Structure 1
């Protein structure tokens, strides 16, 4: 009751403090959510390859900062590997989408429309299958450039008709455009070369076993499971955006600790005489410590509930409003942030507790 009374005694300061703690919690959750959402979304194409084995040029272990070239006759060699099912060629390279003088980086993907893998898996408008001279464009990329289904767009140095808008194919600085393998080969002057082969393991054959067989039996290629290829690609994204996001998360934590500490310290400073009286009438130091910690805990928990609620709701608005910025606030993150907020309360209480510990009750009565 003393802790609640002390906090409610200065409601203006309490509201300000709660806003500060809530902001710190929201900042940490949103920054962490952007990190998690971006790293998950950026590999969505790999994740939707249905567990296929990725076969690439030797030394190519990820998708975004390397270019892979493989000869066309590699397909026949892969089909001859024991346990290899459907083999699908993919031709993909980073490029720039130009519209009305504006350039947007995107990833051009050529695939075989007759195959069961390599193309768009979710379409928000139009159709998913493409023919000669047609493209399925990421919906966020299309929206940013004012493109709709039926429009003609320029890719590299060719013109294509937009027949569909794909969903779940956008992350920060990374969009996809899907064309036929033949159109991609012509645009990129690739001849019979491709970038990757997606090889589905036959029933009874694990992806890791197929990787081993391909690396042993097929020369001049590197095979990786889709999980390995995705993890390597995520590592590239983390290397690009990880440092600033880590800094923002750390700043949020420091702000939260500082706000809790300053608020509890100010409250305790105003109540030192009251604490002295309590100590003089026999209240133990342990009980006084508990009151200080309880004040900090109440402040942190209420601020957490406000900040976590805002962050959880904001993820849907950010995803809908921006499209290429994905925020994922998961239950694990919420639970972890609650633990961190409690830790902020404990750390923020260290100085106030020390002041109460050094309090001499006699001083109160001499004043």
Structure 2
């Protein structure tokens, strides 16, 4: 137990945002509390052009050494999504025994989602934050390798994958009558990185034998989401769009579908994949980022190259038109789930990474 340890957990904006990264943050912060820490969540203001300057100054105060009085916090954890508003504070902080330990939580580099000058600028800011940190927690081995290329020594990196059991688990695959439409599920924000437009393009090849549900927020990229909704409307009742769903509704959707389709162009882990195999869903996804760490091609998953609608279409045809294959993939999914960590495992490992003495 970590009785009395004081932690500042710094995140961009509200902590209750419906993304995998913020979900991870909420659960590990809760784990720190249940293990005896006092956790203060620090919400950085993301509004306005002066936000980076203002919030870096705020963080400098948080990271400053306390010489004449006890430290306010023993550890400051910064979600790496804050890098524009935290990088310079991390670089300029005065390191001393009176300073709090700085731990950066890296889901995946934001630069991985960009190209050209924009990616280079983001990578420069991210590298500043990562290399100034005392320790970096990542959610996958893939991201650990990326962090080392950004200049973080491997001994200062801990890999702490997300859990799989937040929405429960099943002992058998979802029930479906033979010959009934195969039920496809997409879980994620309607954004270019998740690529639901590619899914809708590929879905046309199986629309006669399948139905599709798109579940996830549509407010991350309004222009792109509008294109997704327009493309979905062309299939009538064969495609259902739910918007963002609470956990109870998400668990029901997982129990009512046969295949999770996640054509992401990049994932630092892919919590939806781990939750889907825990419910016995077959997977159609991409060889992108850490996805091959979570699910195995040729077992519970068919993984294709990201941004290749033809390959995605072929994978959908294979899983929809071959009931034997689908059944085998679903049973493989349940076996795979048993090898993935629970959220209690994640919380324990995160605490050991943040507080080395707890090891």
Report the TM-score range of the alignment, normalised by the length of the smaller protein.
Answer: under 0.3
- Which of structures 1 and 2 has the larger relative contact order (alpha carbons within 8 angstroms, sep 6+)? 1
Structure with the greater alpha carbon radius of gyration: 1
TM-score, length-scaled by structure 2: 0.26
